[in-house]
Every structure is written in C-alpha cells, then in structure tokens.
Structure 1
Amino acid sequence: MLDRRRYLSLLAAAGVGAKITLEPTISRAQSLDAGVAGAGGQAAELSRSLRELHGSLRVSIQKYEGTTLRQSQEFKGATLTDGPRQWQLEQKTRRVPDGDGWEVALTCTLEKGEAEQTAISVDFPFNDWETANYVMIPGIVYNGNRYRAIGNGYNPDYPADMYYNPGVPLTISNNPRLASDVAMPSRIELETCGTAAPAMSFFSPKFRKGWIVLTEQGTRLGNSGLSVEESASRESCEFRISAPVVRQQVAGFGDFRPSEDRASNWTPGDAVSIRFQVFTFDADGIPAVLQKFMDVRKSLTGPTMPRNLLPMSKLAELGTDICRGNFTETKAGRYYLPENSKHFQLGWVSGMINTYPMLALNDATERRRVSEELDFICSRMKGRSGFFYGFISEDGTIRSEKTHPQFPAVQAMVRKNGDVLFWLIKHLMLLKAQGHGDAIKESWELAAGGLATAFTRTWRKHGEFGQYIVPETGEIAVYNSTAGAIVPAGLALAAEYFQHPDWLAVAEEAAEFYYERDIESRGFTSGACADISQDADSESAFGLLESFMALHQYTGKRGWLNRAKVQAALCSSWTLAYDPLFPAASDIARLNGRMAGAVWASSQNKHAAPGVCTSSADHLLKLYRATGNKRYAELIRDIQHAHAEAVNMPGHITTDYLIGSSMERIQPSDAEGKGAVGNFIRTRNSWTETNGILMALELPGIYVRPGEGVLFPFDHVEAEYVRESRHAAVVRLTNDTAYAARVSVLAETARQSARPLGYTAFLGWPRVEVPAGGVVTVRVTRDGKVARQA
C-alpha cells in the first residue's frame, strides 16, 4: 500500500506525473458545480442521464476484513456518521468539454475517528438489467466473457465434444466472467492496471443506449479496483470503482488465486480523491459503443506523450541483422528461425513472415535464403488437401497443434493457414515489384492457389473456416471462433494475383459473416492464438481489420471502409490508452518507460506486448488515409513507440540477447504475481523483432499533404512546417535520438489519399538522412518529391 507522497514520487519516476491527477481540480477554464449526489446543476444532469438507463450514482464507505466485505455505508448527503467516525464528501461535476459526458471529482475525508481496512466505493447500480446487455472492459472482458469456460490454467486441452462438432459453443479459458448459469454468482473483479484502459462499458439493446465510465489508474491509496456484479435474479447490475482495489481472487493466465489486496487504514484528516468520467449516449448496436469508446478512451487520462528513442531505420537495420544471423539448416529444411528453438512454426510467431522484410532488402543472398525457405514450406509442410501443417520439428516431424486421444489426426491452426495465404501472396507481389518476377517458382504459385482453393472449398461446404483443420483431409476439426480473420485478406490478394474472382466473392461472404456474428452480435473476435482457447484476442481483431481494408481496396465498396472503422475501434480497446504507473524498482520504471500503445494479448494471456502479432498495422495507415481521422494515426504512433520502449539497446536493456532484440512481455497487471509487474522476461521473441522491422518497412516516417496543412510523424523524429504553399511544403525534421535516421516520406494530396495504398507502395517512398542529434530541412512537393534545403 502506498501513501500519497510515495505514490506521487512513483508517478514522477515513471514519467507520467502529469497524466494521473489525484486532486479534484480541473485544469481547464470551465467552472465546476459543487455538490453531492442528487444536488442541482451538472450533478443533476448526470443523474438524469443515468436514469435513462435506470441507473444512479452512489458513494459508499466499505469496511473489509481481509478481502471480505463486512459493511457498506452509503453517503446520503455530504456527511456520513458511523459511531465515532465522521466522513465528509465533496463532489465536483462538470460537462466534458466538446463531449456528451460528465467529469466528476470526488474527495472523501475522514474528519473524526479512525477506520481500519476501509475503502471508498463509487457505485453505478442499474435496474431493469438484462443478461443480453453487452459488457466490455477493454483488453480483458468482452460481452461479459459470458461463455462456457474450460480448464484451470494456461492453454487448457479441449474436451472431446469440441471436436468435429459444428454446434460447439464458443469456449474460453477460466477467465473473469459474468455467469451463464443463473444459479451461480455473477461477478467480475479487476485491478485498473489489468485492463487496456481503466474503463467499463455496456450496451443495452432494450434501451438502445450505451454507457461508459473512465477513471484513473489509482489514487494516493494505490491502484483502484473495477468490478461488475449482477444480482441473483439478474434484474440489476452494479458497476464499481473502488479505492484501493480489494479483490477476493486475482485472475491469472486461465486460473485464479487468492488475492493479497487489503483496504486502507485511516486516521483523522486522511482523504482520497477519485476522478472519473461518465458517458450515456444513444447507440443502435455494439459497433456504436466500440466507436464511442475509441473516441473517449483518452478523454480522462489525456493525450499520450511517446518518447523518441529509436529511429525506425535503425530498428530495421538491427532487426534484419538478427534475422540474417538466425538462418539455419536442420533435418527439416533451411529457414529463418521463428523462435529461440530450431523448430519451425508457420505464420503467427513469424514463420514465413520474417522472410518478407528480408526479401525487401533486395539482397541476392537473402533472396536466395527466402527462396530456400519457401521451397521447404511448400514441399514439407503442405497437406494433401491444400492446407498447411502449422508446426514441424527440427528433425522433420510434423506435429499436431491440438490433440485428443479420441482424435489422432494431425491438426493445424486456421489462423496460421490464413497467414500463409496472405503473406505468400505478398512475397510474390514484392518479387514482381522489385523486378524479380522470374525468381517466382511454379511450386509457390501452385501452393498459394491450392490453399485459396482449399479455403473456398471449406467455406462452400461449411459456411465457416473453423479454428483447427486437418491438412490431410481438409476437414474442420474444431469449429467456431474468428481464427480465420485474416483469410478474407489472403483470398482478396489471391483473387487479384491470379485473376480469380470467385475467391474475392468468398472473401466478401466470409468477412461479412465474421462482422455480423462476431462484431455486431458478440462484440469481439477470438481464437487466433495457438496458446489460448476461443478467448477474445487482439490478433484476430487486427487480422479482421486487415481483411476489411483489403476488401475495400479490391472491391471499392464503401461498406468495407465503414466496417473497418468499427474494427479499428475494437483494436483500440486492446491497446494501452495511457502510460501506466509501474513499481519504482521494476525494469520499465527504471527505464522511465512509456507504454501507451502496447497491445494486450488476449483475455487469457493478461499482458501487453510491443506490437501487433504479427503485422505492421499498416491497415491503420490505410484507414487514416481514407478517412483523415487522426485517431488512427495516433494509434499507429502509440503502437510503434511502445514497441521501441521494449527494444534492447545500449543503456536501455530489456533482454539478455543481442542489441536490437525484443521480447513479447509488457506486464502492467499482477496476473503473473506482483513481482512480475513492470519487469521484462529475459528472453527474445522473433515475432516482436519481425513486427518492428515491418513497421519500419511498411509505415512512412512522416506523412504529409503539401499545401493542405497535414503533417504527421510516425518515426522517432519531430516534424514541423517551416512554410507551406499550394504546391509544396518546407518541413523541418529534428532527430533527438542517439542514432542516425533515414526517414521515409509519404507525400500526397487528398485526392491521392482517396485511392488505396498498394501493398508494395513503400518501395517508392523517398528517404531523408537526419544525423543523430541533427536537424534537416526538406522541401516536399505535391507529387511526392523530396529535396533537402540548405
């Protein structure tokens, strides 16, 4: 437990002191209406908005014995008397500027007496509740996680009834969830830092309303708690913010353990301030709630302030050097290692994805190596049906990715096969764009076409792709989930490459199916990681966004762009919206790390990671170009800069491996124990390194529209206009890092931005050399030319 001075010192040490306000003051000029719950003015308006959902706002004193709540006393006015103890409550409420929400600052003070093991609770009880309501807590709870759960630990085995069963219900690991069984208690309890943003939300189909509450990570008492609890009858539900957090159970990676949380001891004069924002709004469905969340996710914690640490060109140089050194020969074949072992996995953790940036080097040696890996994959890992096996040991043994004693057939992930189709076509497109089309082998094209045919055949037969398939026969072994999220993108690219319109039709049908079932109905995507069940996960969310943008590119239909906006909002819910405070002695705190933009993995694997597994997220760039919505650009920049925070560099050690290496664990939560919070695991992951190279490759260093006032830096440089005319802009680039930067420039007009960006467009982006600690001025014209100015 932290006292106020200690908590503020930790804030300062983490470099986020300006982000978490512990006092109820508002820095903006707008005035506040003082009062308590039920008072006039802004507080009354807030109360009226809550009543639209049959809800209200209450503040209570909660007395605990350990983690057991023994007594709750609600404030009925500004003063609460409990024997010798007297509490005072001050509430300040105002409208959120330029929004339809309210910001509340509550200060609770113990004026007389002493109180042991006591917490302050801000409660939002809602009557006329329905279990059909969609409940979302970003990065961990989607649709209340109200699904069948299995196992009691990481990556549980599937029961027999999940195999070859088209009617299998969506099945998750043992995660925090609202109960499906009305006979069971229905409660979720979390710590703020166990979420992608300290927020809770729901959508009511009955009232056609959405509701979101945002709060801060903590108060002077430490991290706060978030909980959702339904009544036994399920006719009411209460959302709660508590200071400090007091949970009975702590969620791990698919299991729970007893909590060590404790409420605080109070003496006269002790006070705590809690700040939160509440939004009640019209919503015609779950997509509206997701989009509203993206709009307001930083409203309370404020804009993120990423650090410029590592130019993208330096990141690419180091990453490709590491990958070059990891090319190996085993009994299985010749390939770039996708892991620390010599076994090989396709897709997912970068097998046959890390080859793409190596091919982009346009180096004869690496082109030969990429060719050898593609030969190995197409000859050793392709099943008779056209689907690929996902895993092969270094001795050449094909391994099953899900097994059950009753079902011995070797299975493979649908997600990995989707990656194969998408990335294999991208390899072929890149070779042609580089002028090396003659290096493309017929066996590669036959494999890509055969895989597209296999997906089409499966879709036509089953109306879905499933989660696991049998590559030998093409049968779906495990149905359900959104594991095939990226398949429509792969089919769209294959349809264009082979001029096969039937594949594009299937891509549209499949993408529409996923949108209607998983986004509009469930409010999440799931099951794309090899180490989870059918849990909600970020990888399928970003994969489906890739598909929507591919379909927008190849069909020209506006509807896919509209779906992409909703999907990007879901992706934002998986991405840290603020810079969490980490323990002062932790790795991240000692490095003053700013981790806004780290991407939460899944509702089972409760940690964030440096980047999207495995993608540059250039689909967000394409969405930004098409819409002009700056939030998409800011999301990309957050993700890229959080990635750099995890890269092992001199004076910034994050792994026990080479300079430029990185690992997948950014841990704000205590899911792995309190000792894991803020500490890096001392290993490396090929996919995070690949992810960094891809961002350096497929994202421009700066984006500019000369003569239109649009300038956005993605790279680790500052960019500002010196002057601008109708036809050109003079831009100053400042590199404050310790490394020279080669900054790529994407310059275009608004008219050009309305046209889709090709998958190999990065080959034509000019680059500007900016020395370490240096400043360079360039002239950028509307036709994309860049010239250095004296």
Structure 2
Amino acid sequence: MQLQTGNAATPAMCFFSPSLKKGFILLTTQQTRLGNSGLTIAENVKQDSCSFCISAPAVRRLAAGFGDFHESGDKAYDWKPGDRVKITMRVYVFDAGNIPDLLRKFMQVRKDVTGTNHPRNILPMSELLAVGSAICSGNFIHVPAGSYYKPENNDDFQLGWVSGMMNTYPMLALNNQKERERVAEEIDFVVNKLQGKSGFFYGGIEANGRLLFEKMHPDFPEGQAMVRKNSDALLWLMKHLLLLKAQGFGNVIKPEWESAAKKLADAFSNTWKKYGEFGQYIVPETGRIAVFNSTAGAIAPGGLAIAANYFNHPEWLTVAREAANYYYRRDVVNQGLTGGDCGDISMDANSESAFGFLESLMALYNVTGDKSWLQKAEVEAALCSTWVLSYDPVFPSGSQIAKLNCHMAGAVWASIQNKHSAPGICEASGDYLFKLYRATGNKLYADLIKDIQHAHAEAVNMPGHYTTNNLIGSSMERIQPSDAEGKGSVGNFINTRNSWTETNGMLMAIELPGIYLQTDKGKLLVFDHVEASVLKRDKKSTTLLVSNTTGYDANVAVFAESATLAQKPLSYTAFLNWPKAMVKAGQKVQVQITKGNKILAIKTLN
C-alpha cells in the first residue's frame, strides 16, 4: 500500500496485533521541506513480517484515484552532497485487548504530532442558516410526480442519503407557516408515492412520476431500493413528527404519516426476524433482501428506537438493541470499519456508515438511558475520528483553498473509494457528538464536532469568499487534499453545488448550541463563530462576555444547565428552548443567563 500523506485524514499508520494484544500507532507530519511524505505498508515475500515506512518525498508507482489507480508522476529528490531532510514522527506501542482499544488510543493522540489546529471564526451559525434556508426555500418545486424541495441539482427526487425528506427538517425548524405547509406537502408526496407493499420505500422518483430503482440485475429483476435510504426515511420521519409536536403543531400530523412510519418500522423488524440483518438492498414490494451484508442499515436502529418510544412499541426497541449489538460486534469490534451504505461505492468502508451508527447508539442511550450504549458510542466516535482531518493541511500556494487561507481541519473524508474530504457529515448535524460530550465530559467529542462545523463554514460560498459558481450560501462536497483527481486538483474546489452539504450546514446551525455552559462547574464551550468567556458567576446567574469578530451579525443560541442535568439524555427538540443572544458584527456584549437557561440581560459594550 502506497499513499502520500495528502490521502490520509491523519498522517498515520496503525495496526492491532491479536496475538500480542498490542496496538501500534505511527504519527508523522504532512510534509518535509521536500513536500508531502509517503506512507508505505509492505509485506515480505514469506508473508511473515511487514514494514511501515515514511519516505520524503512521496514516491509512489501508482496513485490512488476514485476506485482506480493511475501513474503517480512522483519524482524522487535529486540529492546532492550535504543535503538534509528532517522527518518528524512519533511511535506508540501499547497494550490493546481489541480493535476498540486501538481506536480509543488513536482518538486521544491523533493531533499529538501535527499539533493543535486553529479553526477560524468567519461565518456565524445564524447567518449560515439564513443563507442555506434561502437556497432550499427557492428550490421547492411542483412537478407531475408531486411537490418537494429539490435534492441535488435536478428535478428528480431522491429519498434520504442526499437530502430528500432531510432538507425538510431545517425548513420545519424555522417555524414558518409557508415552509411548514411545504414540508407537509413533501411528506404527503413521500408516503403516498414511494412506499411499497412491504412497508419499505423506493429510493426515488423521476419528476415525471416514474419510480427509480437503485439496482436491477437480469438474475434478480425485481426493483430494489437502498437500505440506507430507508434507514434515513425512518429516522427523519420520526424526527419530523417529534418536532411538529414540540412546536405545538401536532394537529398538522396526518394519520397517514404515522401509519407510514409504523409500516416502515415493521418492515425493518420483519426483515431482522427473517434474515438476522437488514442487508444492503431490499425489494420494497416484498421486503426481500436482494444484497446482503454491509453496514447499510447503520441508522436503522436509531430510527427504530425513536419509533418504539413514540408509538410505545417495545418490539421495535428489542430489534434496535439486537441490530445495534450485531453491527457493533461484527463491524466495529471485529473489523474496525463500517461501510456499504452509499449508492456510489458498493461495499467500500466509509465515514457515513460510521457516523450513522453513532447516531443509532446515541438514540438508544436517549431512549433507554442505558449507559452501556455510551461506552459503545465512545468507541464509535473514535472510529468516526479516523475519517476527519485532524490538522490544517498545507495546500499548493496557487490553489483556491490556499488563496482563501482556509483552515480545513474537520473536513470529513468520504470513503476509501471517493478520495476527498467534504464539509460536514453526510447527512447530519453530528449533534450526537455534542450529546456524547455532555454525557461523558470528554472534550474530545466536542472538539471533533467544532472542527467539523468550522471546516464546513470554510467551504460556504460567501461574498469575498467564493468557493462555488452558484448562489451565496451554496457549498460543494469536494475539499481535495489528495491528488486522486490529478496533481492540479489539489486544493481546488469543484465549482458546483451539493444540496446535502448545504443541508448539513443548516442542521449544525440548528441542532448545535452556539454556546454551552455548565453553570455550577463553570464549563464553557463555544461552537459558534464567536468568542466567549465567563465574567462573573453567582448562585443565581452567570455573566458571559461574547465577542463577534466576523463580518456578519450573530444570533447565538445559548444552552446553560447544571452538571446534574447534563447526565440526563437530551431530547431531539431541545434546541427549541435555547434562548438567543444577538451580537452584531464587530460587537462585544455581556450576556447574563440563569441556571434555568433564561437570558436576563444583554448589554452592548461597543
């Protein structure tokens, strides 16, 4: 295996030895004075030993592309007498009983050599939500198939995965009557047009009304749908129902919507009982698994757990527990990877299934309060961290990203096939990382989601910070630290837009607090693009100093609670109760907030 450091989320090579019960982690930096370094893992002819090599510069025979390889074009350095190069590295050898031990250690040390990264405050969450929702609102269409917000860049509808009935959630959270009515239209369209007889949904439909099949084969002619899309559909349909009730609009919920959710939960339950897994592709008409294995159903246990709680249906919670334990043992403990839930990469390992499974583990904790799910979630969060850029890469000086001085730590690598990182998690806010921090007190989880949110902001097209050739507030899925698309592509955005990246930006702006405060402990975390510190604290309230150095006004959501309350699972609609503090561009304000999360006063200082 030959890669350059630009191909890695962290410049590292790791392994676990089952026989020795040891873990091994080798960390290095991205570059020496000769450019990106090379990372090589080579087994000997006898296959009884293996070498891990760092080389300066990277000289590969073949460079990894998108599912293929091409001539690297790498050239060795022309050494002259007296030339020197310094390679910085650190090696850890430690006791490890299993792969989870290796993953936990990796998350602890992933920044030890590259150092602390420095996220920039450039785009407040409230402004990100404003520009993102404006784009989404402008993409609501009426076509022969039905009425919906367009996913991606055409009029055909895709359910889940890349925005369908997911971009509706931030629009519903706006609590705007016009958008609420539109969201209702889309849910009507989905449950009436896409649900098969088994309860599973078809993955998409053309604007003209013709159903789309994800996969068909001469030996298996029945139309198939992605299990991933159905997992998304269950989770997000349930989240919509919860949000409508929390907003006081439970009367908007139609019996057909709840019936569709029940049918889908039953379909997952029936599939589990029959096959002992959810598979990768299923037949919506019959519920038959067409393609087995993978972690395509990573999000399904989360949806089932929420549905079980909502509808008081314990059987679904039993299935959720069994399925989550199955995936955890088979994929996380035994393999240290998850994958197979994307339509474009087949069975390859990817970040989306890793983050999706973390969603499920935290949903089970949310519903049951059982802390054993937190222990599994901590391992899964460590696996997720292996997909996230842990440092700010150096990009070629003439590239778009370098010219904008973007700090890209926190960009999320897509998969081992699609060799690029992206702005955010496809497709979620990652609020479960905040919830995991809240429940455990381990700041690494909070730092991870803060990095992800700030890297996302770096990719958003804004005045003076142009990253796409589209609308203000648009973004795209390519942050390219590698030469998988050719050496000229390193550090350049692809000038198009992806609605899913815009959606996860809006979701982060809604589901993550701008400022989090534990009033009795004085713990303060800032996720928004402002700076904050504690000025004074007494038994009744805490006064914060909040500064906004960006060019945009920031309406900052503040979440204050006691350490005792932090031990209770956070509801999915908690963000509705977070008060907002307006801090105009360039301003400093004092915010006085009570233990009960009520803002008593906001005082402008300049």
Give the TM-score band, short-chain normalised. over 0.9
Between the aligned partners of 1:555 and 1:369, the Cα distance in structure 2 is 34
* Inter-partner Cα distance in structure 1 for 2:79 and 2:69: 30
| Cα distance in structure 2, aligned partners of 1:710 and 1:725 | 14
1:510 CA displacement: 0.1
CA distance in 2, matches of 1:656, 1:403: 36
Aligned residue type for 1:564: A
**Cα offset, 1:305, TM superposition:** 0.4
User: 1:541–1:570: 8 Å Cα contact kept in structure 2?
Assistant: yes
Residue in 1 aligned with 2:198?
A: 385
CA distance in 2, matches of 1:676, 1:471: 40
Give secondary structure in 2 for the equivalent of 1:342.
coil
Question: Could you tell me how far 1:724 is from its partner in structure 2?
Answer: 2.4
Partner of 1:207: 20
* 1:284 partnered with 2:97: yes
**Residue identity in the other structure for 1:315:** L
- Matches of 1:728 and 1:262, distance apart in 2: 62
Contact 1:483 1:528 in 2 (8 A): yes
1:699 is aligned to 2:512: yes
**Which residue, out of 734, 737, 742, partners 2:550?**
737
- Residues of 1 paired with 2:507 and 2:110: CA distance? 27
In structure 2, what is the equivalent of residue 649 of structure 1? Answer: 462
1:754 aligns with 2:587: no
Aligned to 1:87: none
SS in 2 for 1:410: strand
Q: Using the alignment, how far apart are the partners of 1:558 and 1:432 within structure 2?
A: 27
Q: Deviations over 1:235-276 (max 9, x none)?
A: 100000000000001111110111100110122321100100
Matched, 1:664 2:460: no
Query: In the alignment, which residue of structure 2 is the partner of 1:466?
Result: 279
Deviations 1:497-540 (A, max 9, x none): 10000000000000000000000101111111111011100000
Aligned to 2:151: 338
Partner of 1:367: 180
8 Å contact from structure 1 (residues 707, 725) kept in 2? no
SS in 2 for 1:266: coil
Match of 2:337 among 519, 524, 529: 524
Deviates more, 1:391-400 or 1:374-383: 391-400
- The 1-side partners of 2:144 and 2:192 are apart by 13
CA–CA distance in structure 2, aligned partners of residues 329 and 678 of structure 1: 38
Contact 2:429 2:504 in 1 (8 A): yes
User: Take 1:584 and 1:394, find their aligned partners in 2: how far apart are those partners?
Assistant: 43
Matched, 1:541 2:372: no
Alignment of 1:108-119 (within 5 A): none
Separation in 1, partners of 2:89, 2:445: 25
Q: How many Å separate the matches in 2 of 1:672 and 1:259?
A: 11
Give the corresponding residue for 1:94: none
Is the contact between residue 418 and residue 487 of structure 1 (CA under 8 Å) also seen in structure 2? yes
| Aligned position for 1:550 | 363
Paired letter, 1:758: S
Report the Cα distance in structure 2 between the residues aligned to 1:728 and 1:361, rounded to whole angstroms: 29
The percentage of aligned residue pairs carrying the same residue is 62
State the match for 1:317 in structure 2.
Answer: 130
* Residues 182-193 of structure 1 aligned to structure 2 (within 5 Å): 188-193=1-6
Q: Note if 1:492 corresponds to 2:296.
A: no
Cα deviation for residue 781 of structure 1 reads 2.0
> What TM-score results when the alignment is normalised by the length of structure 2?
0.99
Letter of the 2:156 partner, please give it: H
Task: Answer whether contact 1:706 1:727 (CA < 8 A) is retained.
Answer: no
Out of 248, 252, 255, the residue aligned to residue 435 of structure 1 is 248
TM-aligned CA deviation for residue 403 of structure 1 = 2.3
Equivalent of 1:504 in 313, 317, 321: 317
The 3-state SS of whatever aligns with 2:86 is strand
Tell me if structure 1 keeps the 8 A contact 2:548–2:585.
yes
Contact 1:707 1:729 in 2 (8 A): no
User: Hey, what does 1:300 align to over in structure 2?
Assistant: 113
1:144 alignment counterpart: none
Residue 351 of structure 1 corresponds to: 164
C-alpha contact 2:520 2:563 (8 A) present in aligned 1: no
How big is the shift at 1:406? 2.2
1:46-125, aligned counterparts within 5 Å? none
Aligned counterpart, 1:118: none
2:356 is aligned with what amino acid? G
Q: Which segment drifts farther, 780-789 or 295-304?
A: 780-789
Number of the residue aligned with 2:218: 405
In the TM superposition, what is the alpha-carbon distance from 1:707 to its structure 2 partner?
A: 3.3
Distance of 2:498 and 2:151 partners within structure 1: 8
5+ unaligned residues in a row in structure 2: which ranges? none
User: C-alpha separation between the residues in 2 aligned to 1:461 and 1:671?
Assistant: 42
User: SS in structure 2 opposite 1:408?
Assistant: strand
| Equivalent residue, structure 2, for 1:271 | 84
Distance 1:451 1:306, change over 3 A: same
Kept in 2, the 8 Å contact 1:386–1:471? The answer is: yes
| TM-aligned CA deviation for residue 625 of structure 1 | 0.3
Secondary structure of 1:750 counterpart: coil
Can you give the 5+ residue segments of structure 1 that lack an aligned partner in the other structure?
1-187
The match for 2:232 is 419
Contact 1:470-1:477 within 8 A present in 2 as well: yes
Number of residue equivalences: 603
Alignment match of 1:237 (pick from 50, 55, 63): 50
Quote how far apart the aligned CAs of 1:400 are. Answer: 1.2
Q: From 573, 580, 584, give the equivalent of 1:771.
A: 584
Alpha-carbon contact 1:706-1:725 (below 8 Å) kept: no
How big is the shift at 1:726? 4.2
* 1:586 alignment counterpart: 399
Large movers: runs of 4+ above 6 Å: none
Q: How far apart, CA to CA, are the structure 2 residues paired with 1:410 and 1:398?
A: 9
Question: Mean alpha-carbon deviation: is it higher for 663-672 or for 265-274?
Answer: 265-274
Deviates more, 1:552-561 or 1:626-635: 552-561
| CA–CA separation in structure 2 for the residues paired with 1:774 and 1:519 | 46
Question: TM-score scaled to structure 1, two decimals?
Answer: 0.76
Matches within 5 A, 1:141-160: none
Distance in 2 between residues matched to 1:428 and 1:789, nearest whole Å = 34
3-state SS, counterpart of residue 385 of structure 1 = coil
Q: CA RMSD in A?
A: 0.8
Question: Structure 1 residue 789: deviation in Å?
Answer: 4.4
Counterpart in 2 of 1:782? 595
Show the counterpart of 2:290: 477
| Contact 1:221/1:244 (<8 A) preserved | yes
Higher helix share: 2
Q: Distance in 2 between matches of 1:519 and 1:370?
A: 36
Q: 1:418 offset after TM fit, Å? A: 0.3
Mapped partners of 2:70, 2:80: distance in 1? 31
Post-superposition CA distance 1:570-593 (Å, at most 9, x none): 001100000011111111000001
Amino acid at match of 1:457: N
In structure 2, distance between residues paired with 1:655 and 1:596:
20
- Which residue does 1:217 correspond to in 2? 30
The whole-number CA distance in structure 2 between the counterparts of 1:787 and 1:776 is 13
Larger radius of gyration: 1
Shift of 1:786: 1.8
Give the Å deviation of 1:640.
0.2
Query: Displacement of 1:557 after TM fit?
Result: 1.3
Superimposed CA distance per residue, residues 580-631 of structure 1 (whole angstroms, 9 cap, x where no aligned partner): 1111111100000110000000001010000000000000011000001111
Rounded to whole Å, the distance in 1 between the matches of 2:346 and 2:324 is 22
Distance 1:513 1:312 in 2: 37
